[in-house]
């Protein structure tokens, strides 16, 4: 999957110029990179939680994150290939990656309910962060209509995941 995306990315460089930055200061190539990175970060955290958590509901949520975000990434990389857009590293994607790596390193030091709490708390913050980015930068910034449509279509999934994570967060909170 990664190799295919890189091959497409390299081929794309020579085919079409990248669209210029929009009013939001991002171009479609940067948006594509941000989307792919955002999904990959959550897939990695989900894989760790699916194997490490001992809570059935947390495991189910983690597996759902892996499945859903893998599906979104397939659509995003397929569209980037079709549009011959080369995903381009940018401060947002780099920050997402750095935060994701930091989260994974922290989670690996934890076990049991402490692990579950840290994973779910981060999932709540992460999904909120991505929804904010979609609303403020990514959707208004996308110049290609198909890319914009994909972002609009995927937004409800992030909202549903956020609600799901918040429900788990509330059910795990100490009562009274």
CB of 119 to another protein, least distance (A): 19
Among residue numbers 70 through 99, which ones bind another protein (CB under 8 A)?
70-72, 74-75
Binding mask 35-64 for another protein (x = CB under 8 A): -----------------------------x
Q: Do 162 and 131 meet the contact criterion of CB atoms below 8 Å apart?
A: yes
CA atoms in the 13 A half-sphere facing the CB of 68: 18
**CB of 84: closest distance to another protein in angstroms?**
21
We find the least distance from the C-beta atom of residue 173 to another protein, in angstroms, to be 20
**CB 49 within 8 Å of CB 119:** yes
Among 7, 67, 95, 171, binds another protein (CB under 8 A): 67
- Least Å distance, CB 125 to another protein, is 20
Over the window 146 to 165, marking each residue x when it contacts another protein by CB under 8 A and - when it does not, the resulting string is -------xxxxx-xx--xx-
**Footprint of another protein on this chain (CB under 8 A)?**
64, 67-68, 70-72, 74-75, 153-157, 159-160, 163-164
């Amino acid at each position: 999957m990664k190799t295919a995306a890189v091959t497409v990315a390299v081929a794309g460089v020579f085919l079409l110029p990248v669209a210029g930055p929009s009013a939001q200061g991002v171009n479609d190539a940067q948006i594509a990179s941000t989307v792919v990175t955002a999904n990959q970060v959550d897939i990695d955290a989900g894989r760790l939680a699916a194997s490490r958590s001992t809570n059935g509901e947390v495991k189910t949520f983690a597996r759902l994150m892996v499945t859903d975000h893998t599906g979104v990434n397939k659509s995003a990389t397929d569209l980037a290939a079709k549009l011959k857009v080369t995903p381009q590293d940018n401060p947002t994607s780099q920050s997402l990656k750095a935060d994701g790596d930091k989260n994974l390193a922290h989670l690996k030091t934890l076990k049991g309910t402490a692990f579950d709490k840290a994973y779910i708390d981060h999932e709540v913050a992460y999904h909120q962060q991505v929804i904010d980015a979609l609303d403020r930068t990514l959707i208004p910034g996308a110049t290609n209509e198909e890319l914009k449509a994909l972002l609009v279509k995927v937004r409800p999934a992030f909202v549903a995941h956020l609600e799901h994570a918040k429900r788990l967060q509330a059910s795990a909170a100490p009562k009274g």
